[in-house]
Amino acid sequence: MSNKFVLINEKIIPATEASVYINDLSIQRGYGIFDFFKLVDGRPIFLDDHLARFYNSAAQMRLPINHSPEELKELLFSLIAKNELPDSGVRMTLTGGYSADGFSIAEPNLIITQQKLTINKVAPLNGTRLVTYSHQRQFPEVKTIDYLMAIWLRNYIVENHADDVLYQHEGNIRECPRANVFIFTHENKLLTPAKNILKGIIRKQVLKLAKASFTVEETNITLEDLYNAKEVFITSSTKNILPVTHVDGRVVADGKPGENTRVLQEKLNQAIYQLCV
Amino acid sequence: MSNKFVLINEKIIPATEASVYINDLSIQRGYGIFDFFKLVDGRPIFLDDHLARFYNSAAQMRLPINHSPEELKELLFSLIAKNELPDSGVRMTLTGGYSADGFSIAEPNLIITQQKLTINKVAPLNGTRLVTYSHQRQFPEVKTIDYLMAIWLRNYIVENHADDVLYQHEGNIRECPRANVFIFTHENKLLTPAKNILKGIIRKQVLKLAKASFTVEETNITLEDLYNAKEVFITSSTKNILPVTHVDGRVVADGKPGENTRVLQEKLNQAIYQLCV
């Protein structure tokens, strides 16, 4: 890990020494939640949204957080000050804790890590390729640590000459493992799946920013809708907006990032830039 | 944990010092598999079956094991000799390893723990109560560490005055989080779900032992079949055979453990006893 220090349960320690005991419920039973936000020029991007989602994920999975959002912010900033990584990602993980019987939730462990982010400058311009796969995440609206399927699908992605996978369930599209998906119809209507997904923070921003220029709808989107879209893009905190040029080996429109997507990329970049000045 | 020593990657260390670094893929992404077998009077029960399943789970999830089954047995026995816990459970966990990018599978960490088992002597006689819940495990035939749903459902079980939960999917029963389910029809036919489940080692034994006395079938079982069953029981390595007296608040037959179930309990106890003399 590129981070120098990490924070575990209020203590800042060198990353090389950061460990948890093996009876933690994350190791025993894959039980935990997390959130992740970006620092740009040392400024946290949409931090309050990420904190709100973190607290919601914890509550949904019945993991108590012994800190108010203000206290948690203080912990975050103390680590950020120590690490001196102005362009980085910060991850807050909350595990099921040291469970005596290996099954019951205990006092959660709070782990905060920070890693340098290398921005991919090519993908936002050239676009990315998706392949779909039938899967519905359990606890879709909670940011759990469950990425079993996502990691297992790495081979499937490569075999299908794609860069990322898009889950679909019974012919309705859902989300990528770490990104939300949007389509523009040929009527320049912006659509994104309404439910059974993790609602991304950049997704929320895009919905807000797009409303000034486009008709926007959170709704059910079929594979057919996706294949026939005028433009497709995905959003995430690390990726911002990535145009999608190929889905399941088919070319989206003319295979180039679309004009509407460009407009939204520009709007989002400005919104993020506003947070950093 | 009641175990004194644990084994991590070939090294036996005191349990109180047993930890893994926080970049392990189990903590980061819930990625790992495991298996669990019982020691009775110091003898491992159906160890070869558990090892075969452990290797299969690892292969399915693309986690390499750097030991032959014989080498792994040696490691297991060295820990067992050290811990001196003749009646206990031994768990072998294989995690996704220390991932540089927090997403890609690395060199897996092998963690072996051993814990004293207190045998519940009442439940096999008095029976247990189930409540059903709609859920299909991802990677059903693999013993992954994913117990998010199982742990989350603890409240649901209590609220429904049950002892355990039975997953059903679209009206077809599957399994409990840590046990397989069987029913006897009123024609004394023994049925158990055929697929989309983890195939338990005790399940395999029961299928084998039952064939001498009953017609046995691995097949689809509906909730209706379950509610109308003459007898219901669940099986697991810790529980052996547990009669089920209540399902979704309904009484199974007369609410007492059934005769056929008793016959199978006796046969299984004998088979396990044979392994210990």
Model confidence pLDDT, tens digit, residues B138-184: 999 999 999 999 999 999 999 999 999 999 999 999 999 999 999 99
CATH of domain B123-276: 3.20.10.10
- Sequence letter at residue A186: H
Residue A1 scores a pLDDT above 90: no
Distance separating alpha carbons of residues B106 and B129, to the nearest angstrom: 42
Supply the pLDDT for residue B161: 98
What six digits make up the tokens of A19? 């460990």
**A146 interaction partners in chain B (CB closer than 8 Å):** 29-30, 146, 148
Residue A122 scores a pLDDT above 90: no
pLDDT digits (tens, 9 = 90+) for B222-256: 999 999 999 999 999 999 999 999 999 999 999 99
Tell which A residues from 153 to 172 touch B, by Cβ distance under 8 Å.
154-155
The pair phi, psi for residue B266, each rounded to 5°, is -65, -45
**A149 interaction partners in chain B (CB closer than 8 Å):** 138-139
Chain A CA closest to residue B93: A28
Cα torsion through A209, A212, A213, A215, rounded to 10: 90
Helices B47-60 and B201-210, packing angle to 10 deg: 130
Residue A3 scores a pLDDT above 90: no
CATH of domain A5-116: 3.30.470.10
- Mapping DSSP onto H, E and C, the string for B74-133 reads HHHHHHHHHHCCCCEEEEEEEECCECCCCCCCCCCCEEEEEEECCCCCCHHHHCEEEEEE
Q: Is B217 helix (H, G, I), strand (E, B) or coil?
A: strand
Supply the pLDDT for residue B226: 98
Evaluated on CA atoms A152, A155, A156, A161, the torsion sign reads positive
Supply the pLDDT for residue B119: 81
Per-residue pLDDT band at A120 (split at 50, 70, 90) = confident
Measured CA to CA in angstroms, residue A158 lies from A151, A223, A255, B64, B185 at distances of 12, 21, 19, 20, 48
CATH 3.30.470.10 domain locations along chain B = 5-116
Helices within A84-160 (DSSP H only):
123-126, 148-152, 154-159
Q: In terms of C-beta density within 10 A (0-12 exposed, 13-18 middle, 19 or more buried), how is residue B211 classed?
A: exposed
Supply the pLDDT for residue A276: 81
Beta-bridge partner residues of A144: A33
Residue A15 scores a pLDDT above 60: yes
What six digits make up the tokens of B27? 């903590």
Lowest mean pLDDT segment, chosen from A20-24, A123-127, A261-265, B249-253 = A123-127
Q: Do B151 and A111 touch (CB under 8 A)?
A: no
Closest-CA distance of chain A to residue B272, Å: 25
CATH 3.20.10.10 domain locations along chain B = 123-276
Q: Do B113 and A61 touch (CB under 8 A)?
A: no
Chain A CA closest to residue B60: A152
> What is the DSSP secondary structure assignment for residue A15, as one 8-state letter?
G
Low-confidence ranges of chain B (pLDDT < 50): 1
Residue A103 scores a pLDDT above 70: yes
Supply the pLDDT for residue A275: 85
Lowest mean pLDDT segment, chosen from A32-46, A51-65, B119-133, B216-230 = B119-133
What six digits make up the tokens of B29? 């992404």
Distance separating alpha carbons of residues B91 and B112, to the nearest angstrom: 6
